[in-house]
Amino acid sequence: MDRCRDEILAAVSRVLDRGQYILGPEVEAFEREFAAFVGTGDAVGVGTGTAAIELALKALDVGTGDAVFTVSHTSGATIAAIELAGARPVFVDIDRSTFVMDPKSLEASIAAVDSGIHGALRPAAVIPVHLYGHPAPMPEILRIARQHSLRIVEDASQSHGARIGEIQTGTFGDAGAFSLYPTKNLGALGDGGILACRNPGLADRVRRLRQYGWRQPQCSEEPGTNSRLDELQAAILRIRLRRLEDENVRRRQLAARFNRDLTDRLACPRTADGCVHAFHLYVVRTAARDRLRHHLAESGIDAGVHYPLPVHLQPAYLNRLPMPPGGLPVTESISGQILSLPLHPHLTDEEADRIVSAVNSFPGNLLPD
């Protein structure tokens, strides 16, 4: 930690000495290095992960009158980005064991839009969310998307370094949006985001859109916005990127430890065959979520809930966005069961022992039905 801090201070000093703070050499270098890490031709730094999704949709000409299929069990940022692009979110249910998009529910939601029951919407795009660090089932989603001529923008905000086989999340579709918020596996010391692009032409358009639609300074070729990754954050992220894979290995080691010692008490996270989990969060299901959370707090252990209320049940979206036939039964059933146990790369073995002991000391049944 001390070495990392010293490297960050040196990088910040380098930026301050240069005196260039917006879209300079640090951003350009980070974009190249991140693209090489995930395995795409290009990457574009932007202000937030939300903006990365919004700008990707706009660059793909997804907007007014277009249906964008995504899950409700996600951060509200996913839905906000779709609406900021002018499109309409259409919800899809999730898999109970991995918490990511269910391809069968996706097909049902597409069929519902095609039937016209949601009005004059055009199926346009799908945003799979690689939630908690677990990849969405991209082979099945790609097949469905191709069948219906849908664009794919992956929400990879929680899956830096996750893979299906040897292919990184964020690189299956047209673009992959990553948040660089401080709590992410690859986090800045403030807001930030980056969009991985397979198509250089798409990356070029996002670069225009992130800065007023400029190709040349002070001349907007199309309406754009202001969403730029700054030099200080890029310099910090370059250092953190070099440590990302080692930190992900530590996350997986801790998750394996928890799975081994807690599987008799909790419904522990399952990793689908062929997938490599990034374990941004370690999320269990339990029949006694709130009582277990209180029990852990009494032992000085802060467990969280990601997310306590699905987006479609939140006041801003309640009863106004399209649902698949039959609703979202899995999404709604797990929302009262999920609990995020502490897991990060700096968690010590002793701290992990304390978490396991505290869970195992809970009196009564924890396993969900």
Average pLDDT score over residue span 8-27: 90
The Cα 122–Cα 65 span in angstroms is: 6
The Cα 69–Cα 128 span in angstroms is: 8
Radius of gyration of the CA atoms of the chain, in A: 21
Return the pLDDT at 2: 67
- Where on the phi/psi map is residue 326: left (φ > 0), alpha (ψ -120 to 50), or beta? left
Per-residue pLDDT tens digits for 126-184: 999 999 999 999 999 999 999 999 999 999 999 999 999 999 999 999 999 999 999 99
Query: Taking all residues of the chain, what is their mean pLDDT, rounded to a whole number?
Result: 96
Quick one: pLDDT band at residue 3, thresholds 50, 70, 90? confident
pTM for this model (two decimals): 0.97
Q: How far is C-alpha 152 from the geometric centre of its chain's CA atoms?
A: 14
Average pLDDT score over residue span 340-368: 96
Residue 12 confidence (pLDDT) above 90? no
Contact 82, 76 (CB under 8 A): no
Per-residue pLDDT tens digits for 313-324: 999 999 999 999
Return the pLDDT at 1: 61
Q: Residue 193 gets which letter from DSSP?
A: E
Domains of the chain: 2-239 (3.40.640.10), 245-360 (3.90.1150.10)
The Cα 168–Cα 185 span in angstroms is: 14
CB count within 10 Å of CB 308 equals: 12
Structure tokens at 269: 């996270």
In the numeric block, the tokens 């002991």 are attached to 357
DSSP for 133-158?
Answer: GPPP-HHHHHHHHHHTT-EEEEE-TT
DSSP for 244-288?
Answer: HHHHHHHHHHHHHHHHHHHTTTSB---PPTTEE---SSEEEE-TT
- Where on the phi/psi map is residue 19: left (φ > 0), alpha (ψ -120 to 50), or beta? left
The Cα 126–Cα 153 span in angstroms is: 7
Structure tokens at 184: 């992410």
66-71 vs 88-92, strand pairing mode? parallel
Return the pLDDT at 65: 96
